Chains A and B, each alone.
Chain A
């Protein structure tokens, strides 16, 4: 379109020019350039003026000025120099192009060559103007050729003439056109304006200019620029109007497009979030967008004269200049960030990019500059950096271990706390290094959980123990959150590990304490039942299950009253409970009460109940502790009964009990003690009271007892009471000291009235002494009997033998031999009798013993042989341990044998009543130190009372009911006459051991002197008795 236009323009038979609204010609067509020989560049601006004939120039310029100023085109002729230097006359005509606001946007003009005509006119006025018709035709042909619509109109607005373009456009003949109403072809919207403009022109005579749409033959409307020039006659009256209409449809469109595009461009430029300008090499801003004006607060003109560097921040200036300079010299683009001062004085950061503009010689003719306000960004960056610093600080300060990991699970970042905790460096912990700190037992489950979380792509958590730098393991809660990009893919995991060790321990503690609590409840022997504020059972422990016969699930939820309280008492319980809830008054809380409860099977039994309120917030709940006290009741009953028995028993046995708190001298007596003391029961008991009853002679005993008691020792006393009418009672008292629960010394004791016993003991004592006397007498009797027996044997023999002898002699014939024999026996027996007497005398006198060499072992064996029958008869096991090489002793064999026999007989007697152990007799002989020979006889009999060891050897002392008490005293005197010693001792086990030791030497025993038998009074008594009888 444009090229066609320019071809058209170039084809016009004329020199065509266009100019800016200010008249600055910026275009010449080809013909001009060919004619003038000037280039376009040389021509534009004011270059063309050089082609005007100097004589015509000023007029032309003036005409031009007039035209420009008025907006009304003027024509003028002037000479234009041809390329070869020749001047020719040209006709200069121009017309403005206006926009819808009637402002001139362009001038255009045609310069037509009229040289021939002018010359012709100079030569004469013939050729050219030959005929009006020719002239008209000529003119018409020109007009018809014009690429414009030319119409001639009369002052009434009727068309007189129209050129071919017009007719072609409208598709009408001249006659038809003539008949049209003025403005009828104009678009209805434009018509009013056109008509108004026409009227105005007609009235004022000024040229007419209008843009409007004409309807073409085919009905299409196209824009035209309409110009109307009046033709005046010599008197100045308008005779014709020349109407020049140029089809500016395309132009309009182009213009519009251009305008639109310019507007667009402007808008774009103005809306670029940046300051866009062009700068001269010197740095002056030549063109700029609105932002520039706004930012610097200057007008375009001001900016042009202004040094841009003035706005640069002093601190950045140096840098800017350097970069600028470098860029200028090298001609390369520069890109720099610096601060620029805004209109209000505030400096803001800009990124400044400038692209150099070069001319054809590659010189920089200017800069295209783009300034982007990066101040916010810069501040944001700074803020970001600060916030990053902040964030890092925060991350490193928050009291958790924070970390990030890659999608594959390997760790990327650890915050300071984490690193410090682990005691590892970032490098050591990264990737999978941190897993070395996880507790071996937890590693598998943690790894599994981490894997699961990553796979699920959802936030997740897990717990594990992590080792601290010092080796201690603590529980942590590992939490991870995914970070996704715009497409939703996970690019990173962020996590925190929170130290839950204390919580874990607390949880563990709680679990243990819960378990303990449950264990306590479960193992409690008491029934523990909890109820809520409505009286429904919430807990029912195993003991309760057992006691009442419900299982927990049966009982929970039911009302307590319905479960354990017998029907008859339910109402009372319910009322009490309701009253408590209403008034807060509780008759039963905090106390132990006894009531009757019922089991599942309906049986009723006594229970002890204690209810307490559970001290928690919210509606009240209660815990009840129940104990089946059936057994206790029975025990109480038992106790009552046994106490009754005790009281009865005390009464019967005349024994009373007392307690005595020593420090405070509080004495408590049982009823029986009062009875013993014959005092009113419930009299307060004091030591004084005691003293009043105690027998005066026994008061010292009482004092002694008190002293002993204060020292904390147990005591046992017997003392007498002196009662009214001089009656005496004997009391046996025992007291045992204990510490009571306050740690005080307290005596518990018993007092028994032993008067009767004592009296009977005294009686017995008297009887005993009488008996002893009798026994002594009886012993003598026994002695006598024994002696008699001893003598009797030979006497009896004598009598018998003598009688026999007589009868034998009296026989016929007399039995002389028999008589002799009997006589012999008689003598023998007589001797024997005498011997006995002798012995007896010897026994009771100081006469010497018959001394001979006695083998003690032999003598013992003979005695044993004699007693074998008895030993077997009494089932006694005899063991004899007779020492070899025992030296012989000097002594009376027979007497020694008597001693041995006596000891043996005693041993047998001692064992005669033993049934529960073997009857064992050990006879031992051995050499003793100091030339002594010892014989011991050890039995397993009833043993000896160690208190009476010496009394054993008293004459007449016997423990045998039929004994005569002779034996041991006689034995002792025999042994002592042998210058030996006889003694007895109880065994470690059962039985006793009797031993005698006698010197074996013959020295000094040969004589007759007696080394002293100890005279015993009893012996003397016996001798006296014997002599008397």
Chain B
């Protein structure tokens, strides 16, 4: 497996997601970090390093879209892939307009995720 230094951060309050998704991402060949909340992500040193952000929408405290706005405010143009357990039909357009690359509904296939990641990295 090739080791890629591209850091992809996962921000999700769901433990199982933080458990499973980074492994998958590593299998893709990326480096992955997981954060239980947007605040912790912001507090970390990965904000700038993160090349792609996989972001849960509904989180207590700062939500996904909140983090998106925050990053935009910081002019941190990190591509964001939203993931959500809820139907995103209503907010999908907003999120995409806000600069999100994709919005995936759980459960999503690994393929869908990879496509989204690639799209995100390419867009960058």
With a cutoff of 8 Å between Cβ atoms, the chain A residues found around residue B85 in the complex are 788-789, 792-793, 796
Q: How far is the CA of A818 from the CA of B27 in the complex (A)?
A: 10
* 11 sampled A-B residue pairs with Cβ under 8 A: A793-B14, A793-B85, A794-B16, A797-B19, A799-B106, A801-B20, A812-B1, A818-B23, A825-B16, A825-B20, A870-B60
Q: Which of A789, A795, A800, A869 contacts B24 (CB 8 A)?
A: A800
Q: How far is the CA of A200 from the CA of B24 in the complex (A)?
A: 223
Is A804 touching B16 in the complex (CB atoms < 8 A)? no
Interface presence of B21 (CB below 8 A): yes
Q: How far is the CA of A930 from the CA of B28 in the complex (A)?
A: 62
Segment from B43-51, B94-102, B107-115 that makes contact with A: B107-115
With a cutoff of 8 Å between Cβ atoms, the chain B residues found around residue A801 in the complex are 19-20, 23-24
Q: How far is the CA of A756 from the CA of B70 in the complex (A)?
A: 49
Chain A: minimal CB distance from B17 (Å): 7
Interface presence of A879 (CB below 8 A): no
Q: 0/1 per residue, B78-97, Cβ < 8 Å to A?
A: 00000001110000000000
Q: 0/1 per residue, A810-848, Cβ < 8 Å to B?
A: 011001001001100100010010000000000000000
Chain A: minimal CB distance from B9 (Å): 16
Q: 0/1 per residue, B6-47, Cβ < 8 Å to A?
A: 000000001011011101100110000000000000000000
With a cutoff of 8 Å between Cβ atoms, the chain A residues found around residue B24 in the complex are 800-801, 803-804, 807
With a cutoff of 8 Å between Cβ atoms, the chain B residues found around residue A798 in the complex are 107
Q: How far is the CA of A244 from the CA of B17 in the complex (A)?
A: 214
Is A797 touching B16 in the complex (CB atoms < 8 A)? yes
B residues 40-74 near A (Cβ < 8 Å) are 60-61
* Other contacts beyond A803-B111, A821-B23: 12, CB < 8 A: A795-B107, A796-B106, A796-B107, A797-B16, A797-B19, A800-B17, A800-B24, A803-B109, A804-B23, A807-B27, A807-B28, A818-B27
Is B19 touching A869 in the complex (CB atoms < 8 A)? no
Q: How far is the CA of A90 from the CA of B68 in the complex (A)?
A: 212
Is A793 touching B20 in the complex (CB atoms < 8 A)? no
Q: How far is the CA of A326 from the CA of B24 in the complex (A)?
A: 186
Interface presence of A355 (CB below 8 A): no
Q: How far is the CA of A803 from the CA of B21 in the complex (A)?
A: 10
The range of chain B's interface size is: 20 to 34
Is B108 touching A796 in the complex (CB atoms < 8 A)? yes
Interface presence of A873 (CB below 8 A): yes
With a cutoff of 8 Å between Cβ atoms, the chain A residues found around residue B1 in the complex are 811-812
Is B107 touching A800 in the complex (CB atoms < 8 A)? yes
Interface presence of A323 (CB below 8 A): no
In the complex, the chain A residue whose C-beta lies closest to that of B21 is: A800
Q: How far is the CA of A804 from the CA of B107 in the complex (A)?
A: 13
Is A807 touching B16 in the complex (CB atoms < 8 A)? no
Is A796 touching B17 in the complex (CB atoms < 8 A)? yes
Chain B: minimal CB distance from A298 (Å): 167
Q: 0/1 per residue, A782-793, Cβ < 8 Å to B?
A: 000100110011
With a cutoff of 8 Å between Cβ atoms, the chain B residues found around residue A807 in the complex are 24, 27-28, 110
Q: Which of A797, A800, A825, A873 contacts B60 (CB 8 A)?
A: A873
Q: How far is the CA of A799 from the CA of B17 in the complex (A)?
A: 10
Q: How far is the CA of A797 from the CA of B21 in the complex (A)?
A: 8
Binding site for B on A (CB under 8 A): 785, 788-789, 792-801, 803-804, 806-808, 811-812, 815, 818, 821-822, 825, 829, 832, 869-870, 873
Is A822 touching B107 in the complex (CB atoms < 8 A)? no
Q: How far is the CA of A261 from the CA of B87 in the complex (A)?
A: 180
In the complex, the chain B residue whose C-beta lies closest to that of A790 is: B85
Chain A: minimal CB distance from B3 (Å): 12
Q: Which of B19, B61, B86, B108 contacts A873 (CB 8 A)?
A: B61
Q: How far is the CA of A829 from the CA of B17 in the complex (A)?
A: 11
With a cutoff of 8 Å between Cβ atoms, the chain A residues found around residue B106 in the complex are 792-793, 795-796, 799
Is A811 touching B27 in the complex (CB atoms < 8 A)? yes
Chain A: minimal CB distance from B29 (Å): 10
Q: How far is the CA of A56 from the CA of B110 in the complex (A)?
A: 233
With a cutoff of 8 Å between Cβ atoms, the chain A residues found around residue B61 in the complex are 869, 873
Q: How far is the CA of A869 from the CA of B23 in the complex (A)?
A: 28
Q: How far is the CA of A807 from the CA of B16 in the complex (A)?
A: 18
Q: How far is the CA of A789 from the CA of B87 in the complex (A)?
A: 10
With a cutoff of 8 Å between Cβ atoms, the chain A residues found around residue B23 in the complex are 801, 804, 808, 818, 821-822
Q: How far is the CA of A16 from the CA of B28 in the complex (A)?
A: 223
With a cutoff of 8 Å between Cβ atoms, the chain B residues found around residue A808 in the complex are 23, 27
Is B87 touching A785 in the complex (CB atoms < 8 A)? yes
Chain B: minimal CB distance from A809 (Å): 10
With a cutoff of 8 Å between Cβ atoms, the chain B residues found around residue A792 in the complex are 85, 106-107
With a cutoff of 8 Å between Cβ atoms, the chain B residues found around residue A793 in the complex are 14, 16-17, 85, 106
Chain B: minimal CB distance from A783 (Å): 13
With a cutoff of 8 Å between Cβ atoms, the chain A residues found around residue B17 in the complex are 793, 796-797, 800
Chain A: minimal CB distance from B62 (Å): 10
Q: How far is the CA of A829 from the CA of B23 in the complex (A)?
A: 16
Is B86 touching A785 in the complex (CB atoms < 8 A)? yes
Q: How far is the CA of A785 from the CA of B108 in the complex (A)?
A: 17
Chain B: minimal CB distance from A632 (Å): 66
In the complex, the chain B residue whose C-beta lies closest to that of A870 is: B60
With a cutoff of 8 Å between Cβ atoms, the chain A residues found around residue B60 in the complex are 869-870, 873
Is B86 touching A789 in the complex (CB atoms < 8 A)? yes
